[in-house]
């Protein structure tokens, strides 16, 4: 799906204006009707919203219908042209753009300023800020105080927004006042062939609007900034203000996790944006062993800080703190094996074996590392992935067949009990085969 030219005089659809004015005064409902799996944590989430609201009293004054697009940018000169053209091509108005140049060494700042007149001719307010290089989180913090819109998005400057992206997301939020933010499907493309979709990211269970647990566990949802549009009031209420922790990475989790804990998420069942995979991007720029290990450590610390800032129950916090402590063990194990770091690999393997039991894949990787062949792991990883998927499918099919047989032999009650045991067993199989993202 490619970008298309749209007339400069774009009018907002009448139904969007109507929705915005109708829902403008309505307060956002946070956690009033959680599904069965979320009812246990409904009260603490409601309290989280109340606590956050008391921290920030200035969140209620925003320009109705206005979408604020906040984008941090570092050395983005080569793709800012498509970024701004993507903004101009949006079929929705009104829009404001807040771009923060995070100490770029190229002509990012001056190139961005060259679009100011073109944007303002289409009625788009443009704020361009230059700061010393402090990282994306610091750039976000510099931009959030400039936000005046009822809705907010924070896309990267190198990803793509299709022309109807903002219109459809705003329309959804207007039609669903009980959700705090909305997520669309995401096309994945490569830098050299933007019109060729490699794959499409989809939410696995759109019937569940509470995505906090899935986000932190990376299960069935995605933490891609380009996918989301939020009510600004909801975001700032969940954050308790207009700031996030300034860390080298992980700003999307800092924005999305508090939001997802406090508010329902809506889903649009079509791709409205594209994530562009390119060599040298921030997410792909950590190549040495030390740099990757340090990045994992920083991300662990960041997630702990985010969890501690959310007013959840002590039981919930303890549960997620423990999960974070083990979340990156598979990645540490594989990373140490790839770089033949035997001591670190052995430590990670012992911990994984204790948590998940021994696995065939892990034993093979350990053997390769001890033979100083860890460097071949990236080449054979696809084969491991296919073998894992095939084993999981076969194992699931066999257990389903066994479950049906037992149900026939023992009756429904026995069959249901075995089905529950089978589900637990399937989850254990998947955990034991997992060798890292």
Residue the block writes with tokens 């906040």: 70
Among residues 219, 253, 224, 218, the alpha carbon closest in space to that of 239 is found at 253
- The per-residue pLDDT for range 205-222, each reduced to its tens digit, is 999 999 999 999 999 999
pLDDT band at 271 (very low <50, low <70, confident <90, very high): very high
By three-state DSSP, how is residue 179 classified?
Answer: coil
Per-residue pLDDT of 357-388, as tens digits, reads 888 888 888 888 888 776 666 666 666 666 66
| pLDDT at position 404 | 77
Residue 228: pLDDT band (50, 70, 90) is very high
pLDDT band for position 49 (cuts 50, 70, 90) = low
pLDDT confidence of 389, banded at 50, 70, 90? low
pLDDT tens profile 62-93: 999 999 999 999 999 999 999 999 999 999 99
CA 242 and chain centroid, separation? 19
Contact 74, 108 (CB under 8 A): yes
Q: Comparing 422 with 223, which gets the higher pLDDT?
A: 223
Predicted local distance difference test score (pLDDT) of residue 354:
87
Contact (Cβ atoms closer than 8 angstroms) between residue 228 and residue 161? no
| Cα gap 230→169, rounded to integer Å | 9
CA-to-CA dists, residue 14 to 167, 171, 173, 205, angstroms: 11, 10, 15, 32
Average pLDDT (110-117) is: 97
The model's pTM is 0.75
What CA–CA distances, in Å, run from 136 to 71, 101, 237, 280?
9, 10, 21, 16
Whole-Å CA distances, 101 to 70, 134, 145, 216, 310: 11, 10, 15, 29, 30
16, 65 contact by CB (below 8 A):
yes
Q: Which two tokens stand for residue 18?
A: 């109507």
% pLDDT > 90, the chain: 51
- Shortest CA distance to 48 belongs to which of 240, 305, 255? 240
Per-residue pLDDT at 378: 65
Say how far apart CA 399 and CA 185 lie, in whole Å.
32
- Other Cβ atoms less than 10 A from the Cβ of 314: the count is 8
The separation between the first and the last C-alpha atoms of the chain, rounded to the nearest angstrom, is 28
Task: Please tell me the distance from the alpha carbon of residue 61 to that of residue 58, in angstroms, as a whole number.
Answer: 7
Give the span between the Cα atoms of 149 and 124, in whole angstroms.
12
338 pLDDT above the threshold of 70: yes
> pLDDT tens-digit profile of 305-326?
999 999 899 999 999 999 998 8
């Amino acid at each position: 799906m490619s970008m298309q030219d749209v007339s400069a005089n774009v009018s907002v659809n009448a139904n969007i204006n109507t929705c915005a004015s109708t829902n403008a005064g309505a307060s956002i409902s946070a956690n009033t009707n959680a599904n069965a799996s979320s009812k246990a944590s409904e009260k603490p989430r409601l309290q989280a919203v109340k606590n956050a609201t008391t921290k920030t009293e200035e969140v209620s004054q925003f320009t109705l219908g206005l979408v604020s697009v906040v984008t941090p940018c570092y050395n983005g000169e080569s793709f800012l042209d498509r970024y701004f053209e993507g903004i101009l091509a949006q079929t929705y108005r009104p829009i404001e753009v807040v771009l923060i140049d995070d100490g770029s060494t190229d002509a990012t700042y001056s190139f961005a300023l060259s679009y100011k007149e073109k944007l303002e001719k289409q009625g788009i307010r443009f704020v361009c800020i230059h700061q010393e290089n402090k990282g994306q989180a610091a750039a976000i913090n510099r931009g959030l105080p400039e936000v005046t819109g009822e809705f907010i998005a924070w896309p990267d400057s190198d990803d793509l927004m299709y022309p109807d992206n903002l219109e459809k997301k705003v329309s959804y939020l207007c039609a669903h006042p009980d959700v705090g933010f909305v997520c669309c499907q995401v096309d994945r493309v490569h830098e050299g062939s933007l019109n060729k979709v490699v794959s499409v990211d989809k939410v696995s269970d759109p019937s569940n609007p509470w995505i906090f647990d899935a986000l932190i566990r990376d299960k069935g949802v995605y933490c891609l900034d380009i996918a989301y549009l939020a009510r600004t009031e909801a975001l700032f209420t969940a954050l308790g203000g207009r700031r996030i922790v300034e860390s080298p990475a992980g700003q999307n989790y800092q924005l999305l996790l508090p939001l997802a804990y406090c508010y329902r998420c809506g889903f649009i069942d079509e791709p409205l944006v594209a994530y562009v995979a390119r060599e040298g991007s921030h997410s792909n720029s950590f190549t040495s062993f030390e740099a990757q290990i340090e990045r994992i450590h920083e991300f662990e610390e960041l997630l702990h800080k985010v969890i501690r800032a959310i007013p959840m129950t002590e039981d919930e916090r303890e549960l997620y703190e423990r999960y974070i402590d083990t979340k990156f063990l598979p990645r540490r194990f594989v990373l140490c094996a790839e770089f033949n770091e035997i001591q670190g690999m052995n430590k990670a393997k012992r911990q994984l074996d204790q948590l998940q039991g021994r696995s065939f894949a892990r034993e093979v990787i350990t053997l390769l590392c001890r033979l100083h062949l860890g460097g071949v792991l990236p080449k054979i990883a696809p084969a491991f992935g296919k073998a894992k998927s095939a084993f999981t499918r076969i194992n699931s099919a066999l257990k389903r067949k066994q479950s049906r047989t037992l149900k026939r032999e023992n009756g429904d009650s026995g069959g249901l009990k075995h089905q529950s045991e089978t589900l637990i067993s399937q989850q254990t199989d998947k955990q034991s085969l997992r060798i890292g993202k």
